[in-house]
Amino acid sequence: MVPTFVSRAVGRPAPGRITAALRAALGLAVDVALPRLCPACREPVADAGLCAACWSKLSFIARPYCERLGIPFPFDSGPGLLSMEAMADPPAYGRARAAVRYDEVARTLVQAFKYGDRLDLAPVMGRWMARAGQELFDGAHALVPVPLHWRRQWARRFNQSALLAEVVGKENRLPVAYTALRRMKATPQQVGLSQSQRAANVQGAFRVPDEGKPEVTGRRLILVDDVLTSGATADTCARALLRAGAANVDVLVFARVVAATRAPI
Ligand SMILES: [Zn+2]
């Protein structure tokens, strides 16, 4: 079983983990001594999160958008409209919702969270996601974080999607199904790959392990990830969950790539 962030944190110390613990302790000491910095521009801020200037540059996603994929539309042409993508190539999942567009500020925020030891950003990012995904929670049974391969999780010490799912779950009293999905392949990073390369990259990468089946079969699930780019990862995860008998799979991410201005059809 791939251990969760919590069980990892209290697990048996290993050489790598001692260094990590030391870093965490030093980070804590620095946090107390110095003001917090905006993860995007490094200006001091009062609370965890962005400064007012960077906040104003974030593009929160709101209606009108494609009811299926959550891709924002430039203008409102009435309720229930679908994007061209949703019609031409419908995903395995039901609906996808995202808090913000994946632009410069969002990218800086995600990178600070994932690679910059800014785990304190999880509550604010998770709360924005909870707001964006409000309509998904009604009737949902659990949140399923997109898992990392165990080797990557060991190196990073945490799964960013699980941390976000924990915040969203707390806000909406939904459990996090940590063992529902397992990443079987340590797939290369999706950055720089074309859409078809991304799909091939994650093909067969996820599976519902036997111990995860009770959390999946007959359940209405919400897949949680930090960023949605081509949707290949979300689609592959949704397929694995549906194959294992999930009743429904929706997707909730912090940020999604929005390619260009699209008109509804
Ligand atoms: Zn800032």
> Is the pLDDT higher at 29 or at 151?
151
The residue with greater pLDDT, 80 or 228, is 228
pLDDT of residue 76: 83
Reply yes or no on whether the pLDDT at 46 is more than 90. no
User: What residue type is assigned to position 4 of the chain?
Assistant: T
Does pLDDT of 1 surpass 50?
no
pLDDT per residue as tens digits for the range 164-211: 999 999 999 999 999 999 999 887 776 677 878 888 888 889 999 999
50-65: average pLDDT: 91
CA of 253 to the centre of ligand 1 (A): 22
34, two tokens: 């110095």
Distance in Å, CA 220 to ligand 1 centroid: 38
Closest by alpha carbon to 119, among 233, 6, 255, 243?
A: 6
d(CA 160, ligand 1 centre) in Å: 21
Residue 11 pLDDT: 37
pLDDT at residue 16, rounded to an integer? 45
Confidence band for 34, pLDDT divided at 50, 70 and 90: low
Task: Compute, in angstroms, the gap from residue 193 CA to the centroid of ligand 1.
Answer: 30
Task: Quote the percentage of the chain above a pLDDT of 70.
Answer: 84
Residue 259: pLDDT band (50, 70, 90) is confident
The overall average pLDDT reported for the chain is: 85
If you measure from the C-alpha of residue 61 to the centroid of ligand 1, how many angstroms do you get, rounded to a whole number?
Answer: 20
Task: Give the pLDDT of residue 203.
Answer: 82
Q: Stretch 72-86: mean pLDDT, rounded?
A: 86
* Closest to 132 in 3D by CA, of 158, 160, 151, 106: 106
Cα distances from 8 to residues 11, 18, 98, 166, in angstroms, run 5, 12, 29, 16
Nearest residue to 100 (alpha-carbon basis) of 26, 176, 182, 40 = 40
- If you measure from the C-alpha of residue 125 to the centroid of ligand 1, how many angstroms do you get, rounded to a whole number? 15
Tens digit of each residue's pLDDT (9 = 90 or more) over 87-119: 999 999 999 999 999 999 999 999 999 998 889
Q: How far is the CA of 16 from the centre of ligand 1 (A)?
A: 32
Can the peptide bond before residue 15 be classed as cis, meaning omega within 30 degrees of 0? no
- pLDDT reported for residue 182: 96
- 158's CB contacts (< 8 A; 6+ apart) are 5, 8, 119
Centre of ligand 1 from the C-alpha of residue 118, in Å: 14
CB 179 within 8 A of CB 215: yes
Residue 40 has pLDDT above 80, yes or no: yes
Helix (H) or strand (E) holding 27: helix 15-33
The lowest-confidence range among 29-38, 135-144, 211-220 is 29-38
What spacing in Å lies between the alpha carbon of 172 and ligand 1's midpoint?
29
pTM score, two decimals? Answer: 0.83
